[in-house]
Amino acid sequence: MYKKFLPLAALAVLSALSCAQSERSLIEKTLSDREQSFETNDVELYLSSISPDYSAKKGKRTFGIKELKLNFEGISKFFDHIKITHSNRSIYYYGDKAKVVQRALVEVRMEKENIHTSFMMKETIELKKTGEKWLIIKEADRDYAEGFVYGGGG
């Protein structure tokens, strides 16, 4: 009797794993777009990875899309070159929400100042599924300029 259910159980497990891998791939795509946007100074690509409903508190300030855009543009002007390599990425998702915890090795250049350096940051990024896409609803607590000035924080 159990032999009849074994193929169905295996199919259910494979289907669940396939869905999980598909969701992970979609999340990875959003994170890849985010990294690429910083490396290429592409504000439109960056904003395409952010939820239109983005609203997060940082200290006493509330950050929305407008503030994120200004912050991104400030980082783009601050560094002449930025390269991000992530490691130790863990993705936790439940329903239509996800949390990503990762380490980011950030390599930066500031040509006028003759500064070429790197630092490591721990990032926690929250996402929400909107339609078929995962979008960022909370950015990392520290941005790359803060990581450069104050150290990576992890």
**136: which 2 tokens?**
């960022």
Say if residue 19's pLDDT is above 70: no
Q: Mean pLDDT of all residues in the chain? A: 87
| pLDDT score of 106 | 96
pLDDT digits (tens, 9 = 90+) for 61-99: 888 999 999 999 999 999 999 999 999 999 999 999 999
3-state secondary structure of 59: coil
Q: Name the helix (H) or strand (E) containing 44.
A: helix 43-48
pLDDT digits (tens, 9 = 90+) for 32-68: 999 999 999 999 999 999 999 999 887 888 889 999 9
**pTM metric for this prediction:** 0.82
- Count CB atoms within 10 A of the CB of residue 34: 22
Across-strand partners of 94? 97
| pLDDT score of 148 | 85
Note whether 84 and 105 are within 8 A (CB).
yes
Note whether 54 and 63 are within 8 A (CB).
yes
| pLDDT score of 59 | 80
**111: which 2 tokens?**
């040509």
